[in-house]
Structure 1
Amino acid sequence: MKLILRILPLFILLSCGTITETATKSPEQKYDFVLAFGSCNKQEAPQPLWEPIMKNQPDVFMWGGDNIYADTPDMQLMQEYYQIQHNVPGYKRLTNSIPVYGTWDDHDYGVNDGGKEWEFKEESQQLFLDFMGVSEDDPRRGREGVYHSELLETPKGNIKLIILDTRYFRDELKPDAVPGKRYKENSKGTILGEQQWQWLEEELHTSAATFNIILSSIQVISEEHGFETWGNFPAERKRLIKLIENSSAKNIIILSGDRHISEFSEMKRDRLNYPLVDFTSSGLTHSYTSFSGEPNRYRIGEVVSDLSFGLLKFDLKNNKMLMEMRGEKNRLLQQHKVEYPHIKH
């Protein structure tokens, strides 16, 4: 992929990991690569964020799931919903300009909070791949699940996208009668399934990329709220974090969606020489406007409950990352900066 340098405004940060917004701008910063992402997008709702996304001149866009809302066993209707989204003018301009990658979540999978029990998952997988423009000879066409990886190459360093499928293989959730908890913890169940786990281990252990982006439709680090999260499957969450710690992959960042809020969650682990961040960005067309608070001991900064999208701005030469939440009219809502250790080549 050809590297395109851009001059973008860098807002003042008090220190590494501090989030602030100020009207005073520091000297303009050149970024080596810009990745935009978002989730929770109703195909028939107003979509005011495509123009602001394009103003940031991203090199790629990533769907974090719920790319359309199609809770239906009617695959013809689901196909029509995808076509509606494909024809949205702002989205069409984006797809005509830059590559688009991504995963699905429950509503574009076909059933609310659904997992491996969904009887139309094979059919919905093909419609998802059609929407993403995946070729007929791609391995995902004949394989269970939409997990996938892409290596984005630039002169200053490479970025690996590791895209998970948290629906196709996930064991069924069990309702919880405890107030504030929608589901019980499942200590023995799986999210990824063994085939996808083996694939993920190989992708991480063999990666030589400067940055590795793991895309999970549901949150990984935040585990205390009562909705969908890797915390519902504590053994799976522990396995993923241990894999990240022990793998050869450097500078791993987690992206997630689903929640209709945006937040930064940050975990420090003794075996990692950088903070592990889970950047949640949700939603593109509707958000949790009545949000009044929920626990998350890993949260950095504040919860954003406005419409928003996420940006990762890579300084590959210096191994720095600026993460931004932006909303309507490209308004900066919150940001977080992380400096990663330099890699010896």
Structure 2
Amino acid sequence: MRLGIVLACLSWAAIAGAGAAYLPEGGAGRRYSPEEPLGRLSFGSCNDQRKGDRQSIWQGVLGSRPDVWLWLGDNIYADKKMKFYPKEFAKSTIEQMRGMYETQRSVPAYRELRDTVGKIVGTWDDHDYGLDDAGKEFPYKKESQQLFLDFLDVPQDSHLRRQEGVYNAHVFGPPGRRVKLVILDTRYHRDPLFSNGDVLGEEQWKWLEAELAASDAQVNIIASSIQFIPNHHETLCPLCYPKQSPFRVESWSHFQREKKRLGEIVARNGVEGVILLSGDVHFGEILMSPPGCTLPYNLFELTSSGMTHAASGSFPKIPLEIMKRFSPNPFGLGMYLERNFGTVDFDWEGATPVVTLSVRDHDGNPVLQKNVSVEDLRLPSDGNSMQEGKRPGACTHEGELLWPNRCRFCIILFSGFAVAIFLALRAVLSILAFLKYCFHLAVHREETKRKDH
């Protein structure tokens, strides 16, 4: 508890040094209007409606007093795990899914958020889409889309009801203090994993480029249900080598061509102020890709995942700490393995706007934080952009690392297991040897007594 208080104080002191972060005025009962400058966007993912005792994180969300709430996927869990390995899930019926959404809507603190927040928007990921790791092949995606839009209270005459996919965009704030939120759908049109195929589908790609090219916002937030910058899948070798491994980690890195395409769209259209938000992985993380790696300027990604359940509750503590400390994460600025949600704060008062990216714990205290000046999200003044084959050395991705470096988490983990097994065997053998000695000693004493008699 004391550590949490110290972290909170240090984090807020850091914000103050860059200009105080905007905190919405008025608290409960205040409803943000999209015409006002956006102060705080809060978001989260991986929220299991079946874990009623874990829905208490909504009190922390309410305490953060967001202007806008963003659902970033796995907003309910509509499938059920049948096997750990090979990984197998069973899907629910549409009627069952409807009941699951109603269960989530009936959570008292979430009802209070719906009554007080200015706007609720979002996208889905696999478990609320309908099935673990599912893509365009999912047979009930049209029906699932209507349920998802019902959950977000999208009007029946909205174009989103007729569109194939739940991608959408929103603009907040007046000119000069404007934020554009572009929310992607990484499920409806996605090709199978390991195919290096498509993620968004051609229509969504055209829409995305048009939205970014037409943007006059100072900050352009792109929200993706899965991570974009990192490739944690590559660093969990050999745990993730089998295609049905329960440890495999979905990300844009499974689709390198698509990942490159997003960077090209931003560069080609001269889009500035891009920041990424993501979920899915059951931990919080802040990442930065340096200029020339993905975009012509610094690309920051804020991941928040695990509202009702996180990595710390699913895996033993020691392997998680080994992963956190030793697994290569070339673009990582920090990782948090407990339940969390995320906030994005906008300070418009200084000469240059400042965006504060935060991962917050169950109670709403900041545990990871990064201040980003909008000035650092501008295109280079010399017009120098990314050039194929000329990435700086700092852009080495996980898959490009040599095997001993890339797989050092598993090397340390399995070596530790081997040492533990060796020591355990030595201990057992030592005990057996001692017992054998005691047995022979007892026999010897009995023989000596008989001879004496």
**Fold match (TM-score > 0.5):** yes
What is the Cα deviation at residue 241 of structure 1?
A: 1.8
What is the Cα deviation at residue 52 of structure 1?
A: 1.3
- Higher mean C-alpha displacement, 326-335 vs 25-34: 25-34
Which residue number in structure 1 is paired with residue 201 of structure 2?
193
SS class of match (2:227): coil
CA distance in structure 2 between the aligned counterparts of 1:330 and 1:224, rounded to whole angstroms? 26
CA distance in structure 2 between the aligned counterparts of 1:282 and 1:257, rounded to whole angstroms? 5
- Are 1:228 and 2:262 matched, yes or no? no
Instruction: Normalising by structure 2, report the TM-score.
Output: 0.66
The partner residue of 1:153 within 173, 189, 193 is 173
Which residue number in structure 1 is paired with residue 342 of structure 2?
310
| Structure 2 CA distance for partners of 1:21 and 1:158, relative to 1, 3 Å | closer
Which residue number in structure 2 is paired with residue 202 of structure 1?
210
Query: Identity of counterpart residues, as a percentage?
Result: 40
The partner residue of 1:34 within 28, 31, 40 is 40
What is the Cα deviation at residue 248 of structure 1?
A: 3.4
Deviation by residue 1:12-61 (Cα, 9 ceiling, x = unmatched): 8xxxxxxx648899588251610100000001212122111121211001
- Are 1:341 and 2:375 matched, yes or no? yes
Aligned-partner residue type, residue 128 of structure 1: F
Which residue number in structure 2 is paired with residue 275 of structure 1?
298
Q: Which has the larger share of helix? A: 2
Q: Is the 8 A contact 1:11 1:26 kept in 2?
A: no
SS class of match (1:29): coil
CA distance in structure 1 between the aligned counterparts of 2:283 and 2:66, rounded to whole angstroms? 22
- Are 1:43 and 2:43 matched, yes or no? no
| Structure 2 CA distance for partners of 1:203 and 1:25, relative to 1, 3 Å | closer
Which residue number in structure 2 is paired with residue 137 of structure 1?
157
Q: How many residue pairs get matched?
A: 315
What is the Cα deviation at residue 269 of structure 1?
A: 2.1
Q: Is the 8 A contact 1:326 1:332 kept in 2?
A: yes
CA distance in structure 2 between the aligned counterparts of 1:26 and 1:157, rounded to whole angstroms? 20
CA distance in structure 1 between the aligned counterparts of 2:171 and 2:191, rounded to whole angstroms? 30
SS class of match (1:167): coil
- Are 1:240 and 2:262 matched, yes or no? yes
| Divergent runs of 4+, >3 A | 20-28, 270-274
Contiguous gaps of at least 5 residues in structure 1: 1-9, 13-19, 174-183
Which residue number in structure 2 is paired with residue 101 of structure 1?
121
Instruction: Normalising by structure 1, report the TM-score.
Output: 0.85
Q: State the Cα RMSD in Å.
A: 2.3
**Structure possessing the higher relative contact order (Cα contacts under 8 Å, 6 or more residues apart):** 1
CA distance in structure 1 between the aligned counterparts of 2:56 and 2:171, rounded to whole angstroms? 30
Q: Is the 8 A contact 1:40 1:282 kept in 2?
A: yes
Q: Is the 8 A contact 1:191 1:233 kept in 2?
A: yes
Query: For 1:55-70, what aligned pairs fall within 5 Å after superposition?
Result: 55-70=63-78
Q: Which has the larger share of strand? A: 1
Larger Rg: 2
Q: Is the 8 A contact 2:356 2:370 kept in 1?
A: yes
Q: Is the 8 A contact 1:251 1:274 kept in 2?
A: no
